[in-house]
Chains A and B, each alone.
Chain A
């Protein structure tokens, strides 16, 4: 008589396949790294994540200190920020460097009620000492090395608009993808002249001079801000935006060279 073999209760008798030890270690390592980089979930802390265009980063920091909130600021190019938010990045507030980019965010449905919070005007700058003797958006630019932003970028569009108003045909030697690059060309002396923003003139410090262009005040670049749709921190976000548009915010903007709407 054969004795039936019954598996003991609660115990598997299936053979376990032996996993290669190195593979197990590799997977364990990957899991640990992933766990360490994940933020712990703390729903009750008044935490705010603000995505802001790079040019407004300093202002955003000052405003955050004023509010006393725990704010994480992420500064980058506006289109990058919008792409990140569209991909699901955890932002509560979005501030872009031009209206066109904010419009894209609106189309994607990721923001609510954009409102203008700052303005900027284009500025013609030359290296300290004005080596090429630029007198304005005029014939003095003819043989000069002029650097502006590419038209796809807000400051480039602004430069072209300004040139139209002044009735001048710009012949740049370089159309940079970022206003910071234009600024760098001028401050290093590589370029004879550049078109940046008012706020950048301050950043350039003693390395550059401003050349007045009367039509500049007619070209306005608006910086809109909006709540990100679906944010958990409505109150904090609104508080932050109020601070930005309030007195302290306007002071910070003015200090940085921005205008207010």
Chain B
């Protein structure tokens, strides 16, 4: 992106010669496969669940392979009339998101089979949401940011309400929808003001316009504020987090796993790009706002998580708190800060996806066993699942041998380097508070007897100690993230090596 700063948009796409579609190849593949899955389901209405899931997986794999080939892209940094960026930043986030989606497909297959809710619309929606997420990481124009955001949000509203026989699912869908649409309006207002201030919606063009002080600055300030509110909603930062616990709790758990990981990555990728590219000239103006957002998010998320008795809700608040930690990296706004935030965004999805995956496995059919007490004595009933969950929770808490620890250290170090040590201090304190509720679950799993009384018999939780109950696919989907957190925890250098070139958006 750095090199495009001078090149302001507006020119017709076609005037530049032939259209370069390669950089959006992954999205084209995803959308194509989504349509194929839809048609397959329509053409062969008898249940082909495995085929649909396999086709979706193949599509995701193809998109990932294609993204990987873009790593060595040497063409222009923005294509299609300055709408889409083709940099390694995008490739990196695409791969993360595609990985998330692939694991989500595995979880979904098992969930839908178990809940008997197999319907052809599921996988296309998942793929469309994935396409929206990957597209937003590549967006180099606010118009694409907005449209991609809508594609992913609309798909997720629908997926949230997919479990049509559970009331909570429909309700979560409605709340998520109303607040999501509300936040989109703010986001849009921000875009309009940014356009008014600079005369363009192109990110590089906005940065250019703001550096030259051409436009009225107060409009740009209002714009950055409104955009921050919009992004704050999408990443569930604190004053704007109200939807997250409800949506996460009510949604089918496989969808919760997908959106808690995917949306956050996608929204933060756009957040980084918009604020660290477009609004970089106003960095000293938006920084205090994001600073406060980060501090509030970390503290409130961690504290509220303690009070939860429902596991999905607890993890939802935990994911709110993690948005705060990532915001610390955004606030640092240095190269190290971006790198740290990206590291966080690479390992956080693994942790939260794996954790929700375990929740899905344990909760059983119909999502009954969601209270904390369902986890009592889990280690005795299913040692392997308990071990995986323990590892993931340790990582979420940020305990040393795991990737979560490295990620937290990275963002806090970046914050301190940028002179935000109070923010790092708040972060450390919030981590300590947060460690409490993660450890509480681990203690429950390992040190308590299974609860039998109060209608909470094992049979009713749907999880019956048999290894087969987990399902091999489900187990893969929770074991892979756990393994990743361990690998990146012990060898963080692998990821940081990749990030060295992937984190260049501006500097």
Q: Do A and B bind each other?
A: no
Binding site for A on B (CB under 8 A): none
Binding site for B on A (CB under 8 A): none
